[in-house]
């Protein structure tokens, strides 16, 4: 199994922080083991009598995988296999990867497809290996970027949700405080109406019932005061 869309989507690169459950981690581990198994089978089928530094590098990576698996090493093995595939393997893998890249709308895939059409200049196996290697590199880069984008989106969504919950809690707390304060004022008015009326009046004073008597005082003073004629008669 080469690096398929499912394997990359469901598995984060080892350098990313753990943000998944135990079930998801177990699922990713199984996918990675299956990926290594498929790569190993492809390598065994591609074995030839001719040895190169590529073979040595692949075997070292497989030996390292016996103690620890990583997607980084698996991707490197997948790219190195381009240079050890037999010609039937090479053509089959190239056709499949071209179809995959075309569905994902990878850049420059149209120009590669034109080279593979009938009537185009003959492409040597060496050229095909280079094309396949570039395709694998572009696909791996595409899936890695998409995984990073999804991880960032997930984190952003989590933070926005937390902020929304905090804002909702704050708003609910303010409403509760206002409701409680209003209830206290209403209870105070019921317990002491006069004090509540004094607080409610603008001047803060209770209306005086003796005000009409005070208003009549000037009139009584005018009646009791001696007239000007009486004052003159008295002087005489």
Measure the CA–CA gap between 75 and 147, rounded to whole angstroms: 15
Higher pLDDT, 217 or 36: 36
Q: What percent of the chain has pLDDT over 70?
A: 67
Higher pLDDT, 70 or 49: 70
Looking up tokens 């990867």, which residue turns up? 97
Q: Which long-range contacts (CB under 8 A, 24 or more apart) does 221-227 make?
A: none
Answer whether residue 208 shows pLDDT above 70: no
Higher pLDDT, 204 or 156: 156
Q: Tell me, what's the pLDDT at 59? A: 93
What is the reported pTM? 0.57
Among 48-52, 53-57, 121-125, 229-233, name the one with the lowest average pLDDT. Answer: 229-233
Answer whether residue 109 shows pLDDT above 80: no
Q: How far apart are the first and last CA of the chain?
A: 141
Q: Tell me, what's the pLDDT at 2? A: 43
Distance of CA 187 to the CA centre of its chain: 48
């Amino acid at each position: 199994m080469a690096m398929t869309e499912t394997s990359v989507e469901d598995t984060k690169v080892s350098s990313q922080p753990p943000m998944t459950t135990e079930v998801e981690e177990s699922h990713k581990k199984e996918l990675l083991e299956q990926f290594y198994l498929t790569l190993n089978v492809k390598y065994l089928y591609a074995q030839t009598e001719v040895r190169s530094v590529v073979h040595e590098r692949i075997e070292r990576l497989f030996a390292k995988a016996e103690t620890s698996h990583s997607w980084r090493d698996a991707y490197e093995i997948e790219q190195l296999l381009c240079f050890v595939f037999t010609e039937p393997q090479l053509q089959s893998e190239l056709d499949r990867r071209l179809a995959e890249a075309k569905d994902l709308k990878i850049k420059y895939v149209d120009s590669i497809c034109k080279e593979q059409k009938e009537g185009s200049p003959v492409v040597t196996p060496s050229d095909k290996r280079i094309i396949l290697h570039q395709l694998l590199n572009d696909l791996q880069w595409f899936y890695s970027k998409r995984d990073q984008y999804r991880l960032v989106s997930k984190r952003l969504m989590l933070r926005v949700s937390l902020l929304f919950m905090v804002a909702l809690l704050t708003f609910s707390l303010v409403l509760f405080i206002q409701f409680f304060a209003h209830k206290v004022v209403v209870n105070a008015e019921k317990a002491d109406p006069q004090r509540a009326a004094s607080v409610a009046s603008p001047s803060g004073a209770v209306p005086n019932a003796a005000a009409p008597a005070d208003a009549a005082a000037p009139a009584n003073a005018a009646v009791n005061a001696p007239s000007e004629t009486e004052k003159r008669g008295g002087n005489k």
